Amino acid sequence: MSNAGQAERSPGTIRRLAVLGAAAASMLALPIASEVRVTRATRPLTDRWQHLPVEPRRSTMLGISFRPLQAEALGLDARATLRTLLNYPFPRIRLGAYWKRLEPEPGRFCPDELDWQVDAAEREGKQIILCVGALKTFGYPEFFVPAHQLPHPFREGALVEPAAHEALLDAATAFVRRIVERYRDRQAIVAWQVEHEAVDPLGMEHSWRLAAAFVRQEVEAVRAADPTRPIMMNGFLPTSVPVRLQQWWRTRDQGDSLSVAQQLADIVGIDYYPRHALLSVGAATLYLDGSRSPWQQRRQKQLFEWAQRHGRRLMISEGQAEPWEAVTSPPNPHARGMYSCLPEQVIENYNQCMRWATHERTGLDAYLFWGAEYWVLRQRCGDARYLQAFARVLEQA
């Protein structure tokens, strides 16, 4: 018997609802199925990267991000790796101020390593985007709060709000202010980055998120310390239906990092990873690959239209150019490559973003290749293809 005021559903209505539900599920399953790959992770290396056409960059500045911690994790000397990379003729580089490394204990400030990186980039005539953090900076594990500034971990599932974390917010704004004040007289610095994928969860490892209000106060501190330079904020662009749905669900209350960047930043940075692994079982690996999916162009198109309509700036802050496998560090198999990013995809991913810009008639400020430390590792192990693919883009774009 139905509740008062609620009409009973006839068997025909129930059947229609079931059919509609099944149709909706089928429509969702179709794009997901087209994006799933189950295959061997390692692939033979080819010379395909030598023959791909290279899209013109037009006014887009090319560059890299440098992660000293990643270089060390790969067994490389960070300074030697940066010197190798700076020899290439790209104009722009992104460096990071890692709070935990610069302030290893209370009252101790250790900027020597970052000073050296800025000096080295400046000597080579590079323009620098400096990520000031404070809590999140690019490169694994992305979270760099010193232990003395956070005696207890954030509660999983929580929003890190200013009112509940006043001391941490004060310390974070003091840190970003200190970094900006230290480097604002360097003409090589062209922009500041605040946080990294600011309000997204920290991958799958943690579900806490920074509140937009927390990040806003960091942005205001940077603007007060240097009102002359633009602020860049970045966000992850989902390229597959499962990732897009997950990101929407986890950030539905205040929007994802791209949405918050649109509200707070002068330059919106897009992190573009079209192919990545989910898990491996034996010799087989499950990948999501939305690089060719027509269903996944909507968000990218909205961003470009928004930038054109409002006269705002876009850039590719991370263009995938190293493997993203089901492990923390990208594997380095002898004489083979990883399916998630073979050398030719260094060029293909760049080409895709240049085609977006051409189609939408909206220029990209910059395209920063992600994975430069991995290229150096591969070269040291006898495979220069990744570095050579990068060099081809620099030469022919």
Q: Are 64 and 372 in contact (CB under 8 A)?
A: yes
Res 218: pLDDT: 98
Residues 266, 277: Cα–Cα separation, whole Å: 33
How far apart CA 82 and CA 276 sit, in angstroms, is: 26
Distance CA 388, CA 343 (A): 9
Instruction: Kindly report, residue by residue over 318-360, the tens digit of the pLDDT.
Output: 999 999 999 999 999 999 999 999 999 999 999 999 999 999 9
Which residues does residue 257 pair with via DSSP β-bridges, in sequence order?
A: none
Taking only the tens place, the pLDDT of each residue in 253-278 is: 999 999 999 999 999 999 999 999 99
Has residue 234 got a pLDDT over 90? Answer: yes
What was the pLDDT predicted at 298? 82
- Give tens-digit pLDDT for 352-367: 999 999 999 999 999 9
| Higher-pLDDT residue of 111, 33 | 111
Enumerate the domain spans of the chain.
36-396
pLDDT digits (tens, 9 = 90+) for 192-219: 999 999 999 987 789 999 999 999 999 9
pLDDT (average), residues 157-176: 97
Residue 244: pLDDT band with limits 50, 70, 90: confident
Q: What percentage of the chain has pLDDT greater than the value 70?
A: 91
Question: Percentage helix, strand, coil, to 5, in the chain?
Answer: 45, 20, 35
The class (CATH top level) of 36-396 is alpha beta
